[in-house]
Amino acid sequence: MAYIPHTAEDTKAMLEAVGVGTIDELFRDIPDELLLDEPLPIPSMLEDEVERWFRKCSEMNRVWPRGRCFLGAGAYRHFIPSAAIHLASRGEFMTCYTPYQAEVSQGTLQVIFEFQSHICALTGMDVANASMYDGATALAEALTMAIREKRINRVYLPQWLHPAYRSVCETFLNGLKVEIITLPTIGSRTDYTSALDHVEPASAVVIATPNCLGSVEDGYLARELADKAGALLVACCNPTSLAMLAPPGDYGADIAVGEAQPLGIPLSFGGPYAGYFACREKLIRKMPGRIVGQTTDDAGNPGFVLTLQTREQHIRRDKATSNICTNQGLFALMATVYMTLLGREGLTEVAETSAVRTHQLADKMVAAGLASRWDNNAIHFHETVLELPIAANDFRKGMKEHYEILAGYALRNWFPALPNSDNLLLFNCTELNRPDDLDGYIEAATEVIGALLDHPTSK
């Protein structure tokens, strides 16, 4: 049975409309080696056999002990109160979509309003939207928004921006023919001082802090560069870090974006996640995505509504400032519950504990003679780079296979051109890594590094 509703006549009419004769001709740009030239080898199975097969596949998944995960690299494992997952799993939230009808969507609208309020409090910005697909697309949308505002097809991106974020930004900006200038670096930080000597007009200057190497950048120097370039300053930040570091609003950022995953969203094969997006009030009408506002009805009762709807495709599709038809509602909900339950003090404790544990583990590795710091001069949040005496990939493999420890991320996967990149390890700690977990890491690392130095496996 074909699950395509079009008749042969429908198909023929559509092909003629686009100027091709066959379906194969429609897809002629796809390389031959990527085309399926025979049916998929799917065996004929009964329903109970299919269920058994999927159960067998699921048994291949491994759940790592909380304290033995030191892998960050853009996705971070924090303790999540059970209430966050429970509330997000309620049917009222799981079945809702876009809250067009305010009179039947007050619960969803209130959650979004509270999410916006939390993000504004964290970032120090004036207004936030109802969330984005993820942090990378939030940054890309911030750049296109800055270009609409400044009308200069040039942006500055830091070298130590997460490579996945850079890739998404390049994809968004490619069709707009935007020039991307990469800022110079000193170690694991951006060299804004050198950049100030060679400034060209631009629409946006991006600061990623903490950057993908875990280093905290100087927002005030980034603001100085943006002013000299006549650009908007876009801050891309880990939201957990904003509980202890200066928020983007303090150093004059115009737009603040990032990934909300650290705020109570579990690691799940890389997503889906939710991005946050906030900006200054003067830019509100150029900001993508939905905004929920608080109001009162005719009787004076408080309520929530979608506001500034002229930005939306369903109102003014040809002039809309948003290309988002939905937001990651369930994940914004989880982030809202998480921030509400922890509060300001709880989130600060999470951030401070994570930072302290990272520095403790780095100090222990150096003191034991197992590694050296890659950049002694940088200030780090809860992630940093160590230089090992062996290949980082060999170290990771040994820690995983023999001690069930996810030891970190091999930086050569991102930046193979770095000096001695084979030996550079990026690792992360959160509040879930207890002191005894750090000691266990050191004991295991001593064994693995010692064994590999005696019997090297990599060239």
Q: Are residues 233 and 172 in the same domain?
A: yes
| CA dihedral sign of residues 288, 290, 293, 299 | positive
What's the mean pLDDT when you consider all of the chain?
92
Residues 6+ apart with CB under 8 A from 392: 408, 410, 411, 412, 422, 423, 424, 425
d(CA 176, CA 387): 40
Residue 40 within a domain: no
d(CA 115, CA 88): 14
Cβ pair 191, 218 in contact under 8 A: no
Residues 6+ apart with CB under 8 A from 261: 75, 76, 134, 135, 267, 271, 273, 274, 331
Number of domains in the chain: 2
Residue in the structure block whose two tokens are 């995960």: 69
Q: What does the pLDDT average to over 66-84?
A: 94
d(CA 90, CA 174): 41
Q: Are residues 70 and 89 in the same domain?
A: no
Residue 32 is predicted with a pLDDT of 87
- pLDDT band of 459, cuts 50, 70, 90: very low
Residue 458 is predicted with a pLDDT of 52
Last residue of a domain, one of 318, 338, 358: 338
d(CA 261, CA 273): 6
Model confidence pTM above 0.85: yes
Q: Are residues 289 and 178 in the same domain?
A: yes
Give the pLDDT confidence of 95-145 residue by residue, as tens digits: 777 777 888 889 889 999 999 999 999 999 999 999 999 999 999 999 999
Quick check: 313 pLDDT over 60?
no
Q: What does the pLDDT average to over 252-275?
A: 92
Amino acid at 38: E
Distances (CA, A) of 213 to 159, 163, 303, 375, 422: 10, 11, 43, 10, 15
Q: What does the pLDDT average to over 199-227?
A: 98
Quick check: 322 pLDDT over 70?
no
Residue 52 within a domain: no
Residue 287 vs residue 321, higher pLDDT: 287
Residue 42 is predicted with a pLDDT of 82
Tokens standing for residue 196: 């100030």
Quick check: 309 pLDDT over 90?
no
Angle at 411 between CA 410 and CA 415, to 5 degrees: 145
- pLDDT band of 411, cuts 50, 70, 90: very high
Q: Are residues 226 and 277 in the same domain?
A: yes
Helix (H) or strand (E) holding 123: helix 106-123
Residue 419 within a domain: yes
Last residue of a domain, one of 305, 338, 371: 338
Q: Are residues 233 and 276 in the same domain?
A: yes
d(CA 135, CA 76): 13
Residue 175: give its domain's CATH number. 3.40.640.10
Give the pLDDT confidence of 39-63 residue by residue, as tens digits: 888 888 999 999 999 999 999 888 8
**In terms of residue numbers, what domain contains 238?**
82-338
Q: Are residues 192 and 239 in the same domain?
A: yes
Residue 236 within a domain: yes
Amino acid at 285: R
Q: Are residues 231 and 319 in the same domain?
A: yes
Q: Are residues 278 and 406 in the same domain?
A: no
Q: Are residues 350 and 236 in the same domain?
A: no
d(CA 351, CA 288): 29
Quick check: 1 pLDDT over 50?
no
Last residue of a domain, one of 338, 372, 400: 338
Residue 24 vs residue 406, higher pLDDT: 406
